[in-house]
Structure 1
Amino acid sequence: MQVVLAILANAGGVGKTTLGVHLAYEVSRRKRTVALLDLDPQRSLDVFCGLEGADVSSTIAQVLSKDFKGNWKLAPVWEDSGVEVCQGHPTVAEVANDLVIRKRGEYTLFDRLKKYPLPHDLVIIDCPATLGMLTVNALAAATHVLVPIQLEMKAIAGSAELVEWCVTTADELQLEPRPPILGFVPSMYDSKIAMHRQYLEQLPSITEQLEIKLFPAVRSSNEFKNASAYGIPLQKWRQLHPACKDFDQIASDVVKLIKQK
């Protein structure tokens, strides 16, 4: 089955794009094809994937426009990786305003993927840092949701609110089935910081109450920034870096979903 994975967070700077890019590459190493869709007007995927800014007609803004006819424009990245990107564009914020008043505006991305399906095994949607119309579109199109969580008090407290938003919004949209949350992913973990260690110890009880899986933490490392400066994932930049293994469990779970018939 095709898995459409929306990476959601209700704040910026929590590692959504880092998670999406490295998960995409890790899944591709397991011989699966991946499409990354950039719904963020800030176009973080361009930086992480080493892409130049694209003309609006070749971006997700065109996909969400009224006159889209199925001509997906995806840029291949990381030679022979099986990963392609539908790039973002600043005008997608204006498109979001149009979606508010458009019939079936909340379902536009879902409708595009249904009428003009992508051939990839996995579609990863990199969402904006706000729970607005673009994120609603991602939720409506998703088969599953993945949530990165920064190990800070505000982020931990907001995790339950994000789950409630997903449930409430899915009910309002009458999504059947409701896209389950695949899991929480602690991000930018630094074992040398006492607060990080304390919050990481508390997370299992929180996720157990919410009945949501907790994945291993993705550690903090400047090597992620160094890799993104060259537009490649850490797995290609420093293959033996210990943080490369932080994405193994998530990738394995995603591949298992893809294999389900």
Structure 2
Amino acid sequence: MTQIVIAVLANAGGVGKSTLSVHLAYEVSRHKYKVAILDLDPQRSLDVFCGLEAAEAENTTVKVLSKDFKGDWVLASAWNESRIEVCQGHPSLADIANDLVIRKRGEYTLADRLQKYPLSHDLVIIDCPATLGMLNVNALAAATHILVPIQLEMKAISGSAELVEWCINTSEELQLDPKPPILGFVPSMYDEAVAMHRQYYLQLPAIAKQLDIKLYPKIRSSNEFKNASAHGLPLHKYRTKHPACKDFKQIADDVIQLIKNK
């Protein structure tokens, strides 16, 4: 059966894509599954979240998407956890994206790499950039499922509906079969003390129902996420008993079920 590949997609920056990617990876790995995180973002925020030194371009996803890739994946262990490995990002991914536009099967490059040179991991998570360009098209073509983090403000919520439409239309244009379903919306950085957050959070169930997409429990806003990432750690390792560690459990449970059913 097909390997589970989850693209974490959003069409705006600062909505919690990397936070979701690394904490989902950690939560799934606690159940003895191997997880690879692929960083397609030129800003390479995963380096910070995973406590990794910046890598040279030839040791990153730039190499994976290059024409001369022969399956020599370079993966860095995250947090000294043998079950979590990262293929790091690099600023020159922006140049690779331009090259993919004119390359034959450019939209399918990542999917082709994962098929021809498969990773041994039970789960692959793709941390995507904030713009719906060629790198995100590659993530969509490679994905078996999609997760969409949503920040609780009007622009982000309306943008999420546009993202759903983009996923549907792009999947059709690429003739993906099957089309990767959206596993769910993930409300992120929720602060109970902010009236706007409470207001928009109340609107999300109706929006998700209209789009026929699952709505996951909110991931709370906490300075401890920032503190943890400043130390290059997931919250689970930085503050083991912090209540926000549980915010990722339902998503992880669903992903683990997908792994078991593959």
Give the aligned partner of residue 77 of structure 1: 78
> Is the partner of 1:79 in helix, strand or coil?
coil
Give the aligned partner of residue 164 of structure 2: 163
CA distance in 1, matches of 2:159, 2:51: 32
Count of aligned positions: 261
> Is the partner of 1:107 in helix, strand or coil?
helix
1:44-92 CA distance string (max 9 Å, x none) = 0000000001111110000000000000000011223510000001111
Give the aligned partner of residue 236 of structure 2: 235
Residues 77, 85 of structure 1: 8 Å contact kept: yes
Q: Does 1:141 align with 2:142?
A: yes
TM-score, structure 2 as length reference = 0.99
Q: Does 1:251 align with 2:252?
A: yes
Give the aligned partner of residue 216 of structure 1: 217
CA RMSD of superposed structures (Å): 0.7
- Which residue type is aligned with residue 59 of structure 1? T
1:215-242 CA distance string (max 9 Å, x none) = 0000000000100011110000001101
CA distance in 1, matches of 2:242, 2:87: 28
Q: Does 1:104 align with 2:105?
A: yes
Q: Does 1:65 align with 2:66?
A: yes
Give 5+ residue unaligned stretches, structure 1. none
Residues 29, 81 of structure 1: 8 Å contact kept: no
CA distance in 2, matches of 1:249, 1:200: 18
CA distance in 2, matches of 1:33, 1:74: 13
Over 6 Å off, 4+ runs: none
Give 5+ residue unaligned stretches, structure 2. none
CA distance in 1, matches of 2:29, 2:73: 20
> Is the partner of 2:185 in helix, strand or coil?
strand
- Tell me the percent identity: 75
CA distance in 2, matches of 1:153, 1:239: 33
Give the aligned partner of residue 42 of structure 2: 41
CA distance in 1, matches of 2:34, 2:169: 32
